[in-house]
Amino acid sequence: MKTDAVIKLRGLCLGDGLPKICVPLMPRDMRELRGEISRLKEAEWDFLEFRADAWEMAEEKEGEETLLKGLSCLRDYTEKPILFTYRTLEEGGERSISDDRYLALNLAASEHGADLIDLQLCRVEGNMRLLSLIRELQARGTLVLGSSHDFEKTPPKAEILRRLLRMEELGFDITKIAVMPRNRMDVCELLTASVEMRERASRPFITMSMGSLGQISRLTGAFTGSAATFGTVGKSSAPGQLESVHLRAILQDLALI
């Protein structure tokens, strides 16, 4: 990996050392958010993901106020980085959303405590309005993570690399791809692509093979170069995620080998 492929965020170095643990939170309302926050005290994590698509009426203007209050509440709870994500229906999320709402909500999140915003490659590529959102968020001091998800299959190594490198070309600060394996060779395809990306990346990247079959990919970031892995505290946001405390212990044990 190139020497400049490290990003510092509130003291957290992504792309350096062991993979960092991100815990996704998927509350539907403020009551559920408070419950998830209370469980964080017994968890292991380096940064949090606020999954806005799980929030009630998140895709509507009238739901934005309570959603942003929830994000501000989370910001008050921790000084660690917060990743804000609205995962759309076409990539395994909870809801659909218009381009106008997608743009407005992500901009608002940058003003209410989000340090990092997830924007989907499939949503922004070829869409000049949403491509400009990358630059606008960065101008505000908010980092932008480009993501691509395939819950049906694992693309060939060349396609995995193409998407990750395309996200670099578009100016994302961090790149991410998650794929679904149908067999063990699919997992190997993702791991091989990750090792090759490690030699080519100019910024941190995150890769994972989902489901129980792909769980090993969530543990091998120190070898493949994947900068972060996702661990659960309660509800998971994708199949194959491991409980965060066990995840930390395994990552630390692997580092000693």
Of 104, 120, 114, nearest in space to 9 by CA: 114
Structure tokens at 2: 């190139």
Answer positive or negative: Cα dihedral of 208, 84, 22, 87.
Answer: negative
Which DSSP helix (H) or strand (E) runs through 108?
A: helix 99-111
Measured CA to CA, the distance from residue 206 to residue 233 in angstroms comes to 20
For residue 191, give the amino acid letter: L
Alpha helices per DSSP H over 121-243: 121-124, 128-139, 157-169, 184-200, 221-224
- Residue 164 Cα distances to 101, 141, 169, 182, 251, angstroms: 26, 23, 9, 21, 24
Q: Looking at 149, 157, 235, 246, which residue is catalytic? A: 149
Active site residue 149: yes
Q: Looking at 20, 112, 157, 176, which residue is catalytic? A: 176
* Residues involved in catalysis: 149, 176
